[in-house]
Structure formats: structure tokens, C-alpha cells
Structure 1
Amino acid sequence: MMMEKAPVMNTQGSGKMMSPGQGKGMMMGSGQGKGMMMGRGGMMHKMHTKMMSHTLFTREKPFTNDDVKRIIGGRLAMNGLSGLRAGNVKDADSQAAMADIVSQKGELLFRLKFNRNTGMASVVQ
């Protein structure tokens, strides 16, 4: 039984996959054009710009108490914590909400402070 060899792709000078070719590279092409992934104006450059300006982490409208309860319930379910659920959610201040994490029996286990703008949560009690 003889195995066939896969054809070898020559990318030298093609502008695709890290070659030093001229023109627009698809991944990391250096050349004179813009690379689609890494070059200035490429996808990674745009993502880095958004991350540095925090546009990926802020909202135009803050989360409501109902949003917070739904989000925490989803996070508990995603992490396989079916024995826990989101309890009461109250206003801590204009920027944060306090959410109770309770057992299935309704016993308070701990409290989270939830940032209404970023969705970040930290254990308070």
C-alpha cells in the first residue's frame, strides 16, 4: 500500500501566509499593501484599537437589575453550577448592582457586585 504525498504549496512572493511579497498579504504579508490580518488597517489592528479604547467593554446603556439577574444566571449555567441561582438584585449605586447568589433552597451563599457598564462582577461577601 503506497501513500501519496500531498502537494507542496510554494508561497514565496505570493503575498499569502507570511511571505515577504509585494501587495496585499492575507495574513502577515509585509510588502507595500495592507495585510488583512496583521497589517495596519487589518483585522487585528482594528481589534487592538477597540480594546485599547475600551469600546468592547462598555455599553451605551447600563445593565438593568433584570439584565444582571439574567446574565448571572447564564454564567452560572455555563459553568455547570446548576445548584446555584441568582437571587435578589438591588442597586448598589448608579454604576453597580448587588446580586445575591443563593442555593436551590434559597440560602444566601455569597454576594456579587456587578458593574452595570462593563458586566464585570466581583465577590463582596
Structure 2
Amino acid sequence: MTNGFETWSLTMGLIRRLRVSQRAMERSILGASLRDRISNVEIRRRTRVTDIAQRVAKLKWQRAGHIVRRRDGRWGPKVLEWQPRTGKRSVGQPPTRWTDDIKSFAGSRWIQAAQNRGIWIFLQKTYVQ
């Protein structure tokens, strides 16, 4: 279910839909229906599956660190630092970019922080929570 999610911009609506899908899959695994009125906490305890939002956040954080630390001349790190020619975004609330939630958590100097794996792993633990 998490294949390719590390490249998505995570919005609250997307996370909500992922959690609903995960709960439906867990209920299916257990053979329980909504009519059985088993709480989500109990289902999670029985299946012992990690929350999808935490898993996706961890994968995204790891991917961001991996891309930034690359030194083989690929375009990935260059794209992260790219700014449009005009320097402006469209009117209204613009769509969330891939790096927006990483920047909001780690700060605008997150690329420098990702160079140090120890700091990056420490930040990952708090970001995923």
C-alpha cells in the first residue's frame, strides 16, 4: 500500500483517506464488519500493523535525506532547490509542495541538516510522531 507514497505531498485529506483504507483492510483481514462494533484501537491491537500515516511519513523523511545526500550528479537534489523564474506562486492558497512539510518541521535549512545522518535520524523520530 505504501509503494511510491514517499514522493507524494501529504495533505490532511490524503492522510485521512489512507487511514480509512487501512482500517477497512484490517477489518477485512480479521473478518470483522462495522456492525460488529469493534473499536479501531482493538483492531490495531489485534493486527499489530503500523499506522499508515507514520509509515508514509518515515518513508518520505528517509527519501528526502537520501536525495539530498546524493553526490552522483543526478537531478534530484537540484530540483529540490529550484525556484521558479518569477519567484511567485499562483493567487490563493497554492498546492502543497513535497518539501513544504519537511521545511515546516526541520526549518528552511533542512538540506544542510540532512547531510548529517545523526541529526537527520533524530529529527525523523520526532517528525514521524
- Provide TM-score, normalisation by structure 2: 0.26
TM score, norm. by length of structure 1: 0.26
Larger helix fraction of residues: 2
Q: Which has the higher contact order (CA 8 A, sep 6+)?
A: 2
More strand by percentage: 1
